[in-house]
Amino acid sequence: MAFLVNLARVVFAPLLQPAAADFQVTAASLGVVTSGAWLGSAAPRLPTGYLLTRLPRHYVIAGTGTLLVATSAFTGLAGSVLHLTIGAVLMGLSSGMYFIAANPLVSELFPDRVGSAIGVHGMANQVAAVGAPLVLGAILAVSDWRTTFFCIAAVAAVSTVALVLAARRTDLPDAGSADHSLIAAGREQWQLILTGIAFIGVTGFLWNALFNLYGDYLEVAKGIDPGTGRLLLSLMFAAGIPAFLVTGRLADRRPNVPLLLRIVGTFAVTVVCLTFVQGFVPIAVLSVVIGYVIHSVFPVLDTYMLSSLPDRHRASAYALYSSSMMLVQAGGSGIIGTAVAGGLGYDAAFRGSAIGVSLVVATLFVLYRTDRLPAGGIPGKAPA
């Protein structure tokens, strides 16, 4: 399920160029489609947090699979940019619901190694991101891009049935049984929630724009053909597979805030470097480095949040954090794509965003050194 729901978000990135050619528009102008997928992923997170105060985690997860089947089929029938955008939003809904329910469940299944468990779960997400450009390339060789969505719908149907059967045979934890109020969680955990949003908001905004527009960026600004661009995007995502595993384990052993400051700061620096280099080899190297660094943020930040939140607030507070940070980052590709379509250069847009990330990191560093940031939970142990 983790593989499929993440595929529902990331599949639109390599799809922009063939879809743009089909609809006879520029790829940059379709940035609103990829933003739609991420806005859709953001929209249900708070309502899902409320659902988790009433329903078991695995019920909600099964519901996301059913939703993905229907929305993927709908998107596969897209005959216009508007239809495709609506489909992207609807497919994003399933991913948003899934992660709000699944990440707290994963942390509760493995309370003494939250980082490692989140890393393995994130690796499954990342395999989807790696495979998306390659799968789309294979499908385009024999059919059109719409076939991708019909394939997702079919596999999602089978996976949902398998998940329901597995849940019936598993003794699941009831750690969230005392989590009954989003308002109470927000009141008690607001400092931790705001800290998480500060770390990932502007960082995710830049990352959302970079990977969704990467193929067009490489073609327009670096002179790299679309096929090679899809390969470099795959390399960028592939670097995230070891990042989730290695950094997830590291998050169980090291204080999370200093680790996050180093990782996010490095991401900003590498993006600035990308805007200055030319040539396949240096761009390929930076693609791998950027991919590894940005995907290291996610397991550390989730470990920081989930290991710090007590059982009585974990799902609710995580939903508040996740819904808010997704709204900040979801507009990245749409805003930057629109700016580029309006005449701003890609390099200037990405460079400016990276500087913004650097300023946030500097602010968080000052707050950390003055003991004004929540320290987080004890590495390797989630609170009861």
pLDDT tens digits along 163-174: 788 777 776 666
Q: Residue 306 pLDDT > 60, yes or no?
A: yes
| Amino acid letter, residue 365 | F
Question: Which uninterrupted H or E stretch holds 282?
Answer: helix 280-308
User: Does residue 374 sit within a domain?
Assistant: no
Higher pLDDT pick, 333 / 261: 261
Provide the 8-state DSSP code for 289.
H
Q: Residue 382 pLDDT > 60, yes or no?
A: no
pLDDT, tens digit (0-9, with 9 covering 90-100), for 5-54: 887 777 887 777 788 888 888 777 787 787 788 778 778 888 888 888 88
State the pLDDT confidence band at 113, using cuts at 50, 70 and 90.
Answer: confident
The count of structural domains within the chain is 1
Q: What is the mean pLDDT of the chain?
A: 85
- How far is C-alpha 67 from the geometric centre of its chain's CA atoms? 19
CATH code of the domain covering residue 222: 1.20.1250.20
Those residues whose C-beta lies under 8 Å from the C-beta of residue 127, and which sit 6 or more positions away, are 3, 241
User: Does residue 155 sit within a domain?
Assistant: yes
State the pLDDT confidence band at 176, using cuts at 50, 70 and 90.
Answer: low
Percent of the chain surpassing pLDDT 90: 31
User: Does residue 376 sit within a domain?
Assistant: no
**How high is the pLDDT of residue 376?**
67
- Distance in angstroms (rounded) separating the CA atoms of residues 93 and 88: 9
| Residue span of the structural domain in which 59 resides | 2-369
- Distance in angstroms (rounded) separating the CA atoms of residues 148 and 164: 25
**How high is the pLDDT of residue 325?**
85
**How high is the pLDDT of residue 67?**
92
Poorest-confidence range of 155-159, 210-214, 311-315, 319-323?
Answer: 311-315
- Could you tell me if 130 and 241 are in contact, meaning their C-beta atoms sit under 8 angstroms apart? yes
State the pLDDT confidence band at 277, using cuts at 50, 70 and 90.
Answer: very high
- Distance in angstroms (rounded) separating the CA atoms of residues 309 and 313: 6
User: Does residue 156 sit within a domain?
Assistant: yes
Nearest Cα residue to 38 out of 79, 116, 110, 94? 94
User: Does residue 245 sit within a domain?
Assistant: yes
pLDDT, tens digit (0-9, with 9 covering 90-100), for 235-253: 898 899 999 989 989 998 8
Higher pLDDT pick, 260 / 16: 260
Tokens of 306: 């989930």
| Amino acid letter, residue 112 | D
For residue 22, CA distances in Å to 84, 88, 345 come to: 12, 17, 25
User: Does residue 320 sit within a domain?
Assistant: yes
State the pLDDT confidence band at 362, using cuts at 50, 70 and 90.
Answer: very high
> Dihedral of the CA atoms 86, 97, 134, 330 (nearest 10)?
60
Residue 90 backbone phi and psi in degrees, to 5: -65, -40
Those residues whose C-beta lies under 8 Å from the C-beta of residue 202, and which sit 6 or more positions away, are 328, 329, 353, 356, 357, 360
- How far is C-alpha 378 from the geometric centre of its chain's CA atoms? 25
User: Does residue 117 sit within a domain?
Assistant: yes
**pTM of the full predicted structure?**
0.79
